[in-house]
Structure 1
Amino acid sequence: MTTIRKTLLALLAGCAMGLAAAGAQAETLRIATEGAYPPFNFVDAKGELQGFDVDIAKALCAEMKVECTIAAQAWDGIIPGLNAGQYDLIVASMSITPARQEAVNFTQPYYQAGAVLVAPKDSGLEPTADSLAGKSIGVQRASTYAKLIEANFPKADVRLYDKTDNHNLDLVSGRIDGVIAQRIIMSEWLGSSDGAAYEIKGEAMLDPAILGEGAGIALRKSDTELQARVDTALAAILENGVYDEINTRYFPFSLKPAN
């Protein structure tokens, strides 16, 4: 074999290795989450990211058969970091809103928290217009849940509070008949000593027109092919039981988005 031929073969081998490495790199997705919103995303005692969002991200990567890295990113810079190319996806319980849709694209929702009516176990209240007519219902001021009451329970006696903690205190003291708030927050409160005598009444309310579509995975607007792949993977884990298994690690109820 001549020296020239050996040199050409070496160059071709080097190019092939470079292309293989580039291909492998293209199949490594960089994912950002916040790391400060338990149980959805948080840093454990070992300094590792954990939570519902993190497990969903890993499941999507496994379904797509790609390598992924997941890193924490401060919330106020998370969308700018995506658009600057620092990572490829945001999986961080980000609600799909019109304002955010101007900056990024979203997959289909991967969960909906929804709103619930919480009242004393023996109250007999239900989340219907007739049941709540004339009843004093606490809700956080200027929240989407306040809009939900206005639209669906117009005859309720609405009491506005600055914080969910404050309407929960009035519920315990008997100054109001019930509260309407986010399902996950209220479920955690029901597990406390203060919430022991109360329960969620009826089904969770998932009104997309008022409460939004739910949380989605954010991508750059230019990454339409990747968005399609992630949506396909999301549909798969919603159907094959993987999503349900992750859900039960963190919540006693399903967060599956409405069809």
Structure 2
Amino acid sequence: MKRFWTIFTAVAAMAMLSAPATAATLIVATDTNFPPFEFKDASGKHTGFDVELWDALAKEIGVEYKLQPMDFNGIIPGLQTGQLDAGIAGMTIKPERAEVIDFSDPYYNAGLLILVKADNTDINGIADLKGKVVSTKLGTTSEDFVKKNAQAKEVKLFPNNDAMILELMSGGADAVIFDSPVIANFMRSDAGKGKVKVVGPLYMGQSYGIGFPKGSPLVPKVNEALKKLKASGAYNALYMKWFGTEPK
């Protein structure tokens, strides 16, 4: 009998170890501060468009998850090493990223904008950033764009949106270049209203996607769930809630 229970226990342990990862609680990364996509509300709870969209997708495909807020530049390495099951953080679908992680279908279309102080008359577009100090966010498409297209005197990189914009407001930078929804959100806020303005056109149209480790079986499931949310109107309602307009 003792031998039987020893064998039974060993078999049970092996079965638990071989259970599919999808049966476990998923670890889903999101940025710490990227309003209106993800941020802490007044109660200290993480919320935003990305956070609520993922929750709706998780319910649709029937998975449990734990949200893991972290600096944006740590998300892709976490997906590559398998420490994360997914990442939703306003992540632009770029060819170089798609070489190391898998993406869902696009769920948001955006671009880059230049933000300056309201009284700035020197900067009207990308060409006017020559010799200027520009702040943006570390590890993002904006960083790549500034370094490639703006002949700035200095590009200051920050781990989060608040520090990036504070550098402009405090006079440490002449301009900010970053994702259009974040810029628009700051312009509508009490901190930015009437104090800043956007100059130039929308640069580098881009789409956001949800990131996964290479070969993740979650990708087709999430894509199908996203289609269902769009067909049912749930996606549109969520979009209207956070951006005040219909999806573009």
In 2: Cα distance, 1:20 partner to 1:42 partner: 35
Q: 1:243 is matched with which residue?
A: 235
Contact (CA 8 Å) 1:113, 1:184: kept in 2 or not?
Answer: no
For 2:105 and 2:90, how far apart are their aligned partners in 1? 13
1:15 deviates by 2.9
- Matches of residues 54-93 of structure 1 in structure 2 within 5 Å? 54-93=51-90
* C-alpha separation in 2, matches of 1:15 and 1:185: 53
* 1:41–1:53 CA contact under 8 A, matched in 2: yes
Cα offsets for 1:16-72 (capped at 9, x unmatched): 996599458625322000121111111234332111111111011001011111111
1:15 lines up with 2:12 in the alignment: yes
> What does the per-residue CA deviation read over 1:67-95, in whole Å, with 9 as the maximum and x for residues that have no partner?
11111121221111111111110000001
Q: Which residue number in structure 2 is paired with residue 189 of structure 1?
A: 187
- What is the rounded CA distance, in whole Å, between the counterparts of 2:77 and 2:185 in structure 1? 33
1:220 matched to 2:218? The reply is: no
Aligned equivalents of 2:125, 2:94: Cα separation in 1: 21
8 Å CA contact 2:22–2:63 kept in 1: the answer is: no
Deviations 1:201-253 (A, max 9, x none): xxx97x9xx413x1000111121x22111111111111112212222221111
Contact 1:29/1:67 (8 A) holds in 2: yes
Identity %: 31
Q: TM-score, normalised by structure 1?
A: 0.59
Deviations 1:146-189 (A, max 9, x none): x9xxxxxxxxxxxx9x9xx9xxxxxxxxxxxxxxx935524652
What CA distance in whole angstroms lies between the structure 2 residues aligned with 1:113 and 1:62?
26
Note if contact 2:29-2:84 (Cα within 8 Å) is conserved in structure 1: yes
Distance 1:41 1:218 in 2: 15
Task: Give SS of 2:107's match.
Answer: coil
Does the CA contact (< 8 Å) of 2:87 and 2:212 recur in 1?
yes
The verdict on how the C-alpha distance between 1:47 and 1:182 changes in structure 2, with shifts beyond 3 A counting, is closer
Q: Is the Cα contact below 8 Å between 2:35 and 2:182 reproduced in 1?
A: no
Structure 2 Cα separation of the partners of residues 45 and 246 of structure 1: 20
Contact 1:32/1:78 (8 A) holds in 2: yes
Task: Please list every run of 5 or more consecutive structure 1 residues that lacks an aligned counterpart in the other structure.
Answer: 117-136, 148-159, 166-180, 199-203
Give the drift of 1:138: 2.7
Distance 1:211 1:45, change over 3 A: same
CA distance in 2: counterparts of 1:41 and 1:187, whole angstroms: 12
- Structure 1 counterpart of 2:25, from 28, 31, 34: 28
Looking at structure 1, the residues matched to 12 and 105 of structure 2 have their Cα atoms a distance apart, in angstroms, of: 39
What is residue 229 of structure 1 aligned with on the other side? 221
Q: 1:63 and 1:17 mapped to 2: Cα distance? A: 30
Instruction: Name the CA distance, whole Å, in 1 between partners of 2:21 and 2:73.
Output: 31
RMSD of aligned alpha carbons: 4.4
What is the CA–CA distance in structure 1 between the aligned matches of 2:215 and 2:22, rounded to whole Å? Answer: 19
Shift of residue 115, structure 1, vs aligned partner: 7.0
Partner Cα distance (1:40, 1:53) in 2: 5
For 2:40, the equivalent position in structure 1 comes to 43
